[in-house]
Structures are given as structure tokens and as C-alpha cells.
Structure 1
Amino acid sequence: MVTLPVASPEPLPHRHREIAESFGSDADRYDRARPRYPQALADAILAGLPGKRVLDVGIGTGLSALPFRDAGADVLGVEVDARMAELARSRGFETHVARFEDWDSHGARFDAVVAGQTWHWIDPAAGAIKAAGLLRPGGRIALFWNIGDPEPQIAAAFGEVHRSVDTGLPFTPWAGGVSAVDGYEQILARAAAGIRDTGAFTEPGRLRLDWQATITREAWLDQVPTAGGHNRIPADRLTALLDGLGNVIDEHGGHFTMNYATLALTADRLTDG
């Protein structure tokens, strides 16, 4: 599931750190249910870099780091939630528990600073400045998201279910017919502005990889509680939400097609001086 389907005109998710720091409440479910990242994404991000030392910001359970390791990178993770970090470590990733903004690298430098599904939880200006200080000249910042939109009829029905349940969340998936990909546009634009304002990077560019997945009722209802803030919904309301979403899927044959776009924002560190 997309982490933050945007409904408000000025979403500022990094101001909702209580949500950002709650994903580990069911780390095993997160690890099991979240979509993986295309190998082509990591290959493109690493292409042309001076080396393959990668810092993964918000490594979570290690899902975002897997394609980079498969491409031959040496990945170090920073993760705010110790429960998530433990799963990343179980996959063999060295992971430090800290907020990225406060993390002390002890002078370490990297060829790439990457963030999968996490940069919207970080202040885009402060995060870009921090990343610039951690990158070698010619290194790369790469921020990416898996964003999913069901076919329009399913999306509209999902949106109606979300509107009908008082979740208490500051966002509503697929509200008003806005696709998740379009909803993320403000997040990508804000991230690009943060990178641009440092004066330390080339002009940010974009990469998009489109792919599809067939998702069953069981798989979707397993994934929904892993979305940002959903683990904070009162149990009775979460049950109502899941029941409503399950009914929609049942009415459409027990499964649906999710159209995923993996969107990446990249920029290269300019040579100092």
C-alpha cells in the first residue's frame, strides 16, 4: 500500500513524526506485506557512481536495501525504530538506530544516500543538507517510493470506504478521485526543492518504473495496517475499515490489479570548491 495517499493541499508528513516512528509496532507484518522494489531501480541509481558504499535512510526491515545488495553494494542502514532495525540486521545489514537528522556518521562518507518510502517523514531541507555532508563528490542522493493505484472503479470504492470510517488520520487514500501517483507530486516537488536549495547538487531528475501486481483480498487486508498511521486507528474502526475494503474486493472477484509506479528523485553531489 502507498504510505501516504495525499488528500490535503499542503501535506507536511514530516510534522507527523509520531506516525513515522510507529511502523515497528508490527514489523513482521510490514516485512511480509509491503511490496518490494524493482531491481532495475537499484541498478539505475548505482550506475556511474565512484563506488558502491550506500547509506539507506529509514532502512526499515531491509526491503529497500535488498536490490542494492543484489547489485553488489555495501549498505549501511539508519533506522529510527529499533524493532524494524532488528529485522534489517537479521538480513545482514549493519543498522544504526537513530533519527537521520541526529545520526553521527563519525566521518564516514558514501557514494549514495538512498531512502525508500521514507523521505516524506524527514524535513526536506534539513535532510538534503545532511545528505550533502555525507556524500563523496560525485555521489548521489536517490529518494524513491512505490506508489500504487488500483483500477479506477476499485480506487473509488476504496476511497469511499476510507471516507466512511472515522480513522482520525490526516489523509484519505484515493480521496476525490485523486490518484496516489498524482497525490505524491507535492511530496516529490518538496523533496526536489530541498535538494535544489542546498546548492550542493545537480538539478534533480526523475526516474519512473511502472509495473503491476495482482493482489488478493487476504494480501490487501494484510498490507493495509502497515500504511502510515493505520496502526494507530482504534481497533473497532480498523476492523470496520478492513471489512469494508474486503467487501469491495469480494464484489470484484476476490482480487484486483494494482498499477504500481516506482518513482525516484536523484541528484549528484557537486565537486567541493
Structure 2
Amino acid sequence: MPTLPRQQPPSAPEPHLHRQVAESFGTDPERYDRARPRYPDALVERRALPDSPFTMPAASASMLDGYQLMLTKAADGIRLAGGFGQAEQWRFDRTRTYTRSGWLDQLATSGALTRLPAGLLAQVLADVGKVIDTMGGTVTVPHTTLAVTATRAV
């Protein structure tokens, strides 16, 4: 009788190891920009350097631990670099209700799905669309935005 190898427990999320998924966000930039969740107003208003080109994208709840680890490392790097005040980490939780078409448009820009062949992507979107229809035509999705900021020391 063959024995199966023991399964290893899942490791902590390591989003920085998912290079192909990360790089896939550029496959349809216009659609992504149109469909992605907006940054929360509170984050935009609190930005210490409004002219800075650096922002953090919204993160899914399942990846928050990995992103939190990266933010902590970024804050440590800012502290070690010198020339800045105390680094702050901000978190903004919110929900957004999407129409069927709005969610499918956004979903098609998410990393894993951009790597699917066109036919398979169409099937996934059709199936998800059917589920949204059974929910009344809308879906409410939680979003979390994490940010690390520091002001320049004078």
C-alpha cells in the first residue's frame, strides 16, 4: 500500500515571491485603472508628501499579514536611513458595493486572472457573474489599504 507524504502546514504569506502575479497588473492598465478600488479619501488627505509618486495598492484580507510584514520592514528601513521623522503605519478599512459588470471588470485585472487564457478567463467571469446575479446583481467587497509614511527631517 503506498503512503502519501505528509503535507507541510501552509507558510506565512510571502507576496514578494509572487512575481508573475505582480507583473501581470500591467497587462491591461486602462482597465485596471478604471476598475480598481480607489484609495480611501482619508489616506489621500493624510499623505505627508502629496507630490510623492509612492503609494501602496489595496490589499486583500488574506494577504494583510504579508503586507504588514513588508510595511514594518519599510518603516525599519526609513528609520535606519535617517533623514526622516518617525515612520507611521496607517490602515484604512472600507467596503465598496460593485455592480455585476463593475466587479467583473475589476476581477479581470487581478493578478492571477490576467495570466489565464482568454477562453478560461471568459468562463471564470461568466461563472462569477452568475453567482452575482443570484445575490441580486451586486457584491459588497471589503478593502484594506495599508501605508507607511514619514516626513523629512529638517
**Are the aligned partners of 2:84 and 2:153 in contact in 1 as well (CA < 8 Å)?**
yes
Give the secondary structure class of the aligned counterpart of 1:184. helix
Separation (CA, whole Å) in 1 of partners of 2:133 and 2:76: 42
Partner residue of 1:41 out of 40, 43, 46: 43
Structure 1 residues 23, 205: CA separation in 2 closer, same or farther (over 3 Å shift)?
A: same
1:224 aligned onto 2:104: no
Identical columns (%)? 42
Q: Which residue of 1 aligns with 2:14?
A: 11
Q: Which residue of 2 aligns with 1:31?
A: 33
Residue 23 (structure 1) shift: 3.0
Separation (CA, whole Å) in 1 of partners of 2:13 and 2:64: 16
**RMSD of equivalent CA atoms:** 3.0
Larger CA Rg, structure 1 vs 2: 2
Pick the structure with more strand per residue: 1
**Are the aligned partners of 1:209 and 1:262 in contact in 2 as well (CA < 8 Å)?**
yes
Question: Structure 1 stretches of 5 or more lacking a match?
Answer: 1-6, 57-113, 118-145, 150-178
Partner residue of 2:73 out of 190, 194, 200: 190
Higher RCO structure, 1 or 2 (CA under 8 Å, sep 6+): 2
Separation (CA, whole Å) in 1 of partners of 2:18 and 2:64: 21
1:116 aligned onto 2:56: yes
Which aligned pairs between 1:32-111 and structure 2 lie closer than 5 A?
32-46=34-48, 54-56=51-53
Separation (CA, whole Å) in 1 of partners of 2:135 and 2:66: 25
Separation (CA, whole Å) in 1 of partners of 2:130 and 2:80: 47
**Are the aligned partners of 1:148 and 1:258 in contact in 2 as well (CA < 8 Å)?**
no
Structure 1 residues 147, 28: CA separation in 2 closer, same or farther (over 3 Å shift)?
A: same
Residue 229 (structure 1) shift: 4.4
**Are the aligned partners of 2:13 and 2:65 in contact in 1 as well (CA < 8 Å)?**
no
Partner residue of 2:132 out of 233, 249, 255: 249
Residue 244 (structure 1) shift: 3.5
Q: Which residue of 2 aligns with 1:263?
A: 146
Structure 1 residues 33, 15: CA separation in 2 closer, same or farther (over 3 Å shift)?
A: closer
Separation (CA, whole Å) in 2 of partners of 1:261 and 1:189: 16
Q: Which residue of 1 aligns with 2:59?
A: 147
Separation (CA, whole Å) in 1 of partners of 2:74 and 2:56: 13
Which residue identity does 2:77 align to in structure 1? G
Residue 29 (structure 1) shift: 0.9
Q: Which residue of 1 aligns with 2:122?
A: 239
**Are the aligned partners of 2:56 and 2:146 in contact in 1 as well (CA < 8 Å)?**
no
- How many residue pairs get aligned? The number is 145
Structure 1 residues 45, 13: CA separation in 2 closer, same or farther (over 3 Å shift)?
A: same
Question: Structure 2 stretches of 5 or more lacking a match?
Answer: 1-9
Separation (CA, whole Å) in 2 of partners of 1:268 and 1:239: 46
Residue 26 (structure 1) shift: 1.5
Q: TM-score, normalised by structure 1?
A: 0.44
1:205 aligned onto 2:145: no
